[in-house]
Amino acid sequence: MNVSEAIQSRRSTRYLDPTHKLTDDELRKLLSASMLAPSSFNMQNRHVVAVVDQEVKDKLKAAAWNQDHVGTASAVLVFAGRLKAHRATDRFLRDAAKEAREMFEAMIPDFYEGKLELQREEACRTVGLAAMGVMLTARELGYDSCPMIGFDPVQVSEILGLDEDHPPLMMMPIGKATAEPHPRLGLLNMEEVVSLDHFENRAFTGEIEN
Amino acid sequence: MNVSEAIQSRRSTRYLDPTHKLTDDELRKLLSASMLAPSSFNMQNRHVVAVVDQEVKDKLKAAAWNQDHVGTASAVLVFAGRLKAHRATDRFLRDAAKEAREMFEAMIPDFYEGKLELQREEACRTVGLAAMGVMLTARELGYDSCPMIGFDPVQVSEILGLDEDHPPLMMMPIGKATAEPHPRLGLLNMEEVVSLDHFENRAFTGEIEN
């Protein structure tokens, strides 16, 4: 499936076949997509827990206001941040040339250390980038998904054993759709959300291709 | 280009042909990709300013520590959040059925109102999701990109006329690459960033396909 088709056909889907299972190869492809997404300074400041065990899915469902698709998904990916990733330069700069490594080692820790809000925002950006790659890959594999923040992060952390450094920032049921998605609630037009050269210049008009 | 190829070939690229221009159709395709990305409660809590005017690109470059590719890009997309999107339910729920509209109207403002950190984090997630769709679309169109947070947000807001409700959360030069990207600095292995069913269970081992 090409990129445009995947983007245009991706919709958040809540009706999933509870009997369907992903193959290991499919799961690895989905996880690889998350890993190849970019991150600030290459910190890769995220950790994904892929939940396929039904008992764990059911616990996550209870922690997500009993939303059905958390229980019926073939896999539920929980995207956690890694807030202190900036401290691990030896990890994410390990293949860097000496000059680049020294430059980044001097720059990165100072940019993030002690700034918890920035660390969390950075993790949210990183998770968003990774999650979109996963959802488009799911489309290519014939699956649908639903990114969610409607869950209790404390309960989810307890269920999955996540620590303070790895807060859950997004949950994503993935599976085989059993129904068409709902009609869109209200896709905004281009002039409402896009400007050209200056915020006040809403130069693009009309609905988008969809 | 299919999704897997786009994900595997996407790299942050800093060497762009300053003479290359995007067609209007290409720019619209890139912007459409940002608009079709999901967002929490469908709030579409983002605004993209597409900068193609060289004078504005040069100002942005100065506000981004003089990084070359901001000046040489065919277009620089600035992804702003829209922090108070939750107040505009009449806008993003306008096509919703009465029952869904009433449910969400009762739920959404209360979820976000008065919670500035949550509003910013939500905007960062939304911007990340949108940005990845744009970068993969750029690959499909034969272009490269580079997501950045290395800029002064106050200066960028002044240059583009962004208000407090629309903070710039990511900048993205897009253009025609003139050189191969640098080797990766250190792509982490699957067992370092992925777990199965529980955070402590690093079940997937080895490097990813790349």
| CA distance, residue A29 to nearest chain B CA (Å) | 8
Answer whether residue B138 shows pLDDT above 90. yes
Which positions in chain B touch A131 (Cβ < 8 Å)? Answer: 125, 128-129, 132
State the angle between helix axes of B54-63 and B153-160 in degrees (0 to 180), rounded to the nearest 10. Answer: 160
| CA distance, residue A44 to nearest chain B CA (Å) | 8
State the angle between helix axes of A116-140 and A24-35 in degrees (0 to 180), rounded to the nearest 10. Answer: 140
Burial of residue B33 (CB within 10 Å: 0-12, 13-18, 19+) is buried
Can you tell me the ipTM of this complex?
A: 0.97
Q: How confident is the model at residue A183 (pLDDT cuts 50, 70, 90)?
A: confident
Tell me how far apart the alpha carbons of residues B151 and B163 are, in angstroms, rounded to a whole number. Answer: 17
Q: How confident is the model at residue A91 (pLDDT cuts 50, 70, 90)?
A: very high
Q: How confident is the model at residue B198 (pLDDT cuts 50, 70, 90)?
A: very high
Q: How confident is the model at residue B26 (pLDDT cuts 50, 70, 90)?
A: very high
Q: Decide if B42 and A184 are in contact by the 8 Å CB cutoff.
A: yes
Q: Tell me what pLDDT residue B181 has.
A: 87
Summarize the confidence of residues B93-111 as an average pLDDT: 93
Q: Is pTM, for the whole model, over 0.90?
A: yes
Domains of chain B: 3-179 (3.40.109.10)
String of DSSP letters for chain A: -BHHHHHHH--B---B-TT----HHHHHHHHHHHHTS--GGG---EEEEEE--HHHHHHHHHTTTT-HHHHH-SEEEEEEE-TTGGG-HHHHTTTS-HHHHHHHHHHHHHHHTT-HHHHHHHHHHHHHHHHHHHHHHHHHTT-EE--B--S-HHHHHHHHT--TTS-EEEEEEEE-BSSPPPPPS-PPPHHHHEEESSTT-----SPPP-
Name every residue whose Cβ is closer than 8 Å to that of residue B7 and which is 6 or more positions away in sequence: A33, A36, A37, A133, A136, A137, B136
Answer whether residue B209 shows pLDDT above 70. no
Which positions in chain A touch B210 (Cβ < 8 Å)? Answer: 32, 36
Answer whether residue A210 shows pLDDT above 60. no
Instruction: Quickly count: other Cβ atoms within 10 Å of residue A110's Cβ.
Output: 10
Summarize the confidence of residues A172-192 as an average pLDDT: 93
Which strand (E) or helix (H) includes residue B72?
Answer: helix B68-72
Q: Decide if B125 and A40 are in contact by the 8 Å CB cutoff.
A: no
Which positions in chain A touch B161 (Cβ < 8 Å)? Answer: 198-200
Name every residue whose Cβ is closer than 8 Å to that of residue A145 and which is 6 or more positions away in sequence: A10, A12, A13, A134, A135, A138, A172, A173, A174
| B199 in Cβ contact with A160 (< 8 Å) | yes
Answer whether residue A208 shows pLDDT above 70. no
Which positions in chain A touch B187 (Cβ < 8 Å)? Answer: 35-36, 44, 95
In percent, the amount of chain A with pLDDT more than 70 equals: 98
Q: Report the first-to-last Cα separation within chain B, whole angstroms.
A: 16
Mean pLDDT value across chain B: 95
Report the helix count and the strand count for chain B, using DSSP H and E: 9, 5
Q: Tell me what pLDDT residue B187 has.
A: 94
Give the Å distances, CA to CA, from B194 to A18, A27, A123, A133, A205.
23, 11, 15, 15, 42
In percent, the amount of chain A with pLDDT more than 90 equals: 92
Q: Tell me what pLDDT residue A203 has.
A: 76
Mean pLDDT value across chain A: 95
Poorest-confidence range of A5-9, A202-206, B88-92? A202-206
Q: Which single residue is written with the structure tokens 């762009």?
A: B16
**Each residue of A108-148: pLDDT tens digit?**
999 999 999 999 999 999 999 999 999 999 999 999 999 99
Q: Tell me what pLDDT residue A205 has.
A: 73
Tell me how far apart the alpha carbons of residues A172 and A73 are, in angstroms, rounded to a whole number. Answer: 9
Q: How confident is the model at residue A206 (pLDDT cuts 50, 70, 90)?
A: low
Answer whether residue A204 shows pLDDT above 90. no
Instruction: Report which DSSP code applies to B201.
Output: -
Backbone angles phi, psi at A173, to 5 degrees: -65, 135
